[in-house]
């Protein structure tokens, strides 16, 4: 049976992608680090990374997603402040956080985590930190603090772009030499038991 590299995510709308691109441009201008930047059109909010799954597992995963989605309501998010993992003091990943309905979003992610654990997917060892990846730092000196990058998202006019999150998607990731390509396999609508291709 064929394997798929899969994850569950919120796909971004055009306004939030555009705002993310503007914040990314400001961070690029502010930091002096070798960073492999994420293309804003490929950005998404990962709720659960599943890894390699069998095609035969898709229906069970979508059914679990639909059960959880039926108990949730649509929510809204907007861009927050810039941060780094593990810290801005020595970042390996630069990201922008989210604000808005972060509590309900976290509840949704935790419900997915518990339900998928019952299907054999290991629970994430770290707490959920809703964010959008701006870029990954490539080796070199990461000792310089990036205080100048903090607060950039909050100051960017387009950071006021708000997205209504009304569905979650099972995504396929295909690794290619030029970077990962993403494709939505199925989506489920929040507040409903409906799934859509």
- Residue 68 bears catalytic tag: no
Which of 131, 146, 163, 169 is flagged as catalytic? 131
Map residue 61 onto helix, strand or coil: helix
Cβ–Cβ under 8 Å, residues 149 and 88? yes
Exactly one of 16, 24, 44, 81 is catalytic; which is it?
A: 44
Query: Which residue do the tokens 């999150």 mark?
Result: 165
CB atoms within 10 A of CB 125: 5
Rounded CA separation 57/54 (Å): 5
Contacts of the segment 23-28: beta carbons below 8 A, 24+ positions apart: 23/79, 23/82, 23/96, 23/134, 23/152, 23/153, 23/156, 23/158, 23/159, 24/134, 24/135, 26/152, 26/156, 27/82, 27/94, 27/134, 27/135, 27/149, 27/152
Give the total residue count for the chain.
Answer: 197
Active site residue 44: yes
Q: Is 158 exposed, middle or buried (0-12, 13-18, 19+ CB in 10 A)?
A: middle
Catalytic residue positions, numbered: 44, 131
């Amino acid at each position: 049976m064929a394997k798929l590299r899969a994850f569950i995510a919120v796909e971004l709308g055009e306004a939030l992608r555009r705002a993310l691109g503007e914040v990314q441009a400001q961070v690029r201008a502010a930091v002096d680090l070798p960073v492999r930047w994420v293309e804003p059109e490929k950005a998404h909010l990962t709720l659960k990374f599943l890894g390699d799954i069998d095609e035969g597992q898709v229906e069970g995963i979508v059914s679990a997603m639909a059960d959880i989605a039926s108990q949730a309501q649509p929510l809204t998010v907007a861009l927050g402040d810039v941060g780094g993992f593990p810290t801005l003091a020595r970042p390996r990943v630069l990201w922008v956080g989210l604000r808005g309905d972060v509590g309900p979003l976290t509840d949704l992610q935790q419900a997915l985590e518990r339900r998928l654990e019952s299907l054999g997917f290991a629970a994430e060892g770290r707490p959920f930190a809703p964010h959008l990846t701006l870029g990954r730092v490539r080796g070199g000196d990461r000792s310089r603090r990036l205080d100048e990058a903090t607060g950039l998202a909050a100051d960017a006019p387009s950071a006021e772009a708000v997205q209504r999150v009304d569905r979650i998607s099972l995504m396929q990731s295909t690794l290619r030499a030029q970077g990962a390509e993403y494709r939505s396999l199925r989506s489920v609508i929040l507040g409903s038991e409906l799934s859509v291709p």
